[in-house]
Structure 1
Amino acid sequence: MNFMAIASIYRFEMARFFRTITQSLVSPVLSTSLYFVVFGAAIGSRIDEVEGVSYGAFIVPGLIMLTVMTQATSNASFGIYFPKFIGTIYELLSAPISFIEVVIGYVGAAATKALFIGLVILATSFFFVDIQIAHPIAMISFLVLTCVSFALLGFIIGIWAGNFEQLQLIPLLVITPLVFLGGSFYSISMLPTVWQNITLFNPVVYLISGFRWAFFDTADVPVAISLFAIGLFTAMCLGVIWWIFKTGWRIRQ
């Protein structure tokens, strides 16, 4: 394992994050604060509790997941797409490093950025609501797994994308709607039975449910199923990335 190569890619990507700290960090925090004002204050004043939790606190896990998923995906997709765009991807491919080391460097940096932003948003939420984390270790574990899995998805999107518009296509038109419809601002038990069954086909439901359980010890689906879902999603992304580097799809073409 070429740890020097991994560290070089990782440091380069993290340096880019800190060069654009306003866009990378301040913007998500401000957006999340607006969600707290609109949903927590305006709507929360009309909803006392959801499953025994105040509505303002109930939406915190969903808000963190919304930001973490989109940030991990966007950072990883841009990180690998930019070398393709300027042509330096060929220098990377000709270097004495394996695809595993390339993936670890880019995905690790994107996951770190998303994790950092998620923790900052969690800290920000304490200024708006009173939160008690029932299972802090499980909460961090779910957060890390989500960051890594969606960074892997972003890496795939970056390889697939043919232009900058396509980089934002999946996060904006797929991931964000799935999060909003995945119980981020409500419990799926509040839905009619038919819609509850339909919602269970949304994979994001299992991630948000498991993450919310870590906070409030309550979940829409069993925690074991949530862990299985995120593990399966991660394995599928790894399989796709292995196939991409094996065939050279969208890399050498």
Structure 2
Amino acid sequence: KNSSKSAAVKQKLLPLQDANEFEKRRSDVNNQLKLLKKLNNDVKAYVATLENLLRTETRLVQNVGSTSTDLKHLSEIWNNVLTEKSKLNADYTQSYNAITSHSIKDLQIAQCLLSKNLKKWDTLSQHCLKENEKFSKLKEKERNNQQHAKLEQQEKTVETLKQDFYALHNQLSADMKRMLEGVSDIFDPTIDKLVALEIDYNTKMQKLYSTLCSKLSVDAYGGSDKVYFDQIDRKLQAIKLLSIVAE
């Protein structure tokens, strides 16, 4: 629907170059908003994956702990790891929300205002075209009916509408340019903070798993029984595979 409106505007109200530039900016704004929305959804999905993984690992620990009394110590150690991991996940989610909340709110305000003005632009352009068409018909009738008064009034109406349209068009062109520039101003530092958050999270997770491996191989079992250790190792590898999925 908007494309047909824009096509009519291109043909009758605006120079083609101006109309093309306007539509390009409108497209750029919409594409930028889609990308930012996708980024937000992707990170939310990532956080959900972390939470699902934690639940899966918790079930695995319960199974390991119930296999035999000899594996209870492994289960206790891993439960401690999961407790720390749960805190890390909660901190990650809280930090993400703190980093993005203001940026997304600022963008939504700008987007809402721009969207309202674009609707005004579409409505005004159609009204302007309709009155212009009425003016053209009156000009045709004037040749036969001498309707000078009506023609002059309609000409004034069309001229006023065109002035309003061009003023709004110029305002929107500037608004869209500012918004595209503003998106970078708003989100560039936000992305930098999110990258730093991700690096910090993964570093802490790596340290957590290193601590777990150290406890299992040195403190917990001390090398008493090869068969027993092979069994423990298989269990540990299964757990570690789950952690790799999250990475």
Q: How does the TM-score come out when normalised to structure 2? A: 0.29
Q: Which has the larger radius of gyration?
A: 2
Larger helix proportion of the pair:
2
Q: Which one scores higher on RCO, CA 8 angstroms, separation ≥ 6?
A: 2
